[in-house]
Amino acid sequence: MNSLKDAAYMHLAYGLAEKALGRASPNPYVGALVVKNDVIVGHGYHEGAGRPHAEIAALERAGRRAKGGTLYVTLEPCVHWGRTPPCVDAVLSAGVKRVVISALDPNPLVFQKGVRKIRRAGIDVTVGVLEERNRRLNEFYAKYITRSIPFVTLKAALSLDGKMATKKFDSRWISSPPTREYIHLLRAEYDALMVGVNTIIQDDPRLTVRHSNWRDKKLTRIILDSTLRLPRQARILSTLAQGRILVFTNMNAPRPKKEALAKLGVEVISLPGAAAIVDLHRVLAALGKREIASVLIEGGGRLATSLLEKKLADKVVLTISPRFIGGKDAVSVFGGEGPKSLKDALSLNAVSSFQIGEDTLLEGYF
């Protein structure tokens, strides 16, 4: 056993896993290598739901050369039937002498069961190589598979004084063109975008992925609209070929408007609740049932404030432009009453930042 060699091969396996970013949901991102006599004889990654899992693809490429080799896989092999057969059985029949696993699968159907079955077969198993890398790569999957609700990221473009728009709701454009291009790449990694209906009314966005690397990306768009004020002429309604549209409203919203949207191909989901509010807990539960594992929140101030107040966001991505907007009535990313004491303020963990031109991008977790 050589820990440096194991880490090197596992880094390569992660490079394969990352090729599926934005494409494998609601399944995890997984890469695998088969190595024999210091030669890579098989490789693969999980390309999408219903496609062969990473270790199956790697073992099939290796063929007979897998016997006596080492399988490197970024996530514990599954032991249950889903859209594909259990991977553990293929690992055992391949005749490998060693399996190196980066991280255990948090899925209760798999957790530790794959490792135990491989060890019972007399195969040497090493677990934990580059485990932290898996935690970040599969953060969407880990929350979805254990809690049945999506991972929620709040994204906002801000001025230096934390404003999302002027008092007249003008927000085009706070961030620079290179930053906006990056945001399209970020969008593509998620299953869905969510906005409040005010964002649709004020900005009339399409909420699509417009980047040459992602011409085929279909993105679910989610609109929170308690009284169905969504304009019939909104540009987003002409983009159904680029992804489904879900509108969450309340039970007492006008039936004719629900029917009109349904005729256009929009899925209208009625939830219990007060006339002016859509219950965010119920929204997330409904999205989980629809196998949406990740949601990027893009607007506006009221929705951002609700998510932060209810502590429903897992992560924030803030793009900060070097300008001041000012004005007590300008739109802030976090409004509401606010805490009385600084000790009650929300804090971020694992904060990182980088530059795109003059803009600063900051990421952190709650």
- Give the integer Cα–Cα distance in Å for 308 and 333: 9
Q: How far apart are the first and last CA of the chain?
A: 38
With a CB cutoff of 8 Å and minimum separation 6, the contacts of 11 are 130
Q: Is the Cβ–Cβ distance between 156 and 173 less than 8 Å?
A: no
Bridge partners, residue 267, by sequence: 246
In the set 55, 76, 259, 363, the catalytic residue is 55
CA dihedral 330, 336, 341, 346 (to 10 degrees): -90
Cβ-based neighbour number of residue 149 at 10 Å: 20
Prior bond of 300 cis (ω within 30°): yes
- Give the integer Cα–Cα distance in Å for 341 and 325: 26
Identity of the amino acid at 69: G
Q: Is 55 a catalytic residue?
A: yes
Q: Which is nearest to 192 in space by CA: 153, 219, 169?
A: 219
Active site residues per annotation = 55
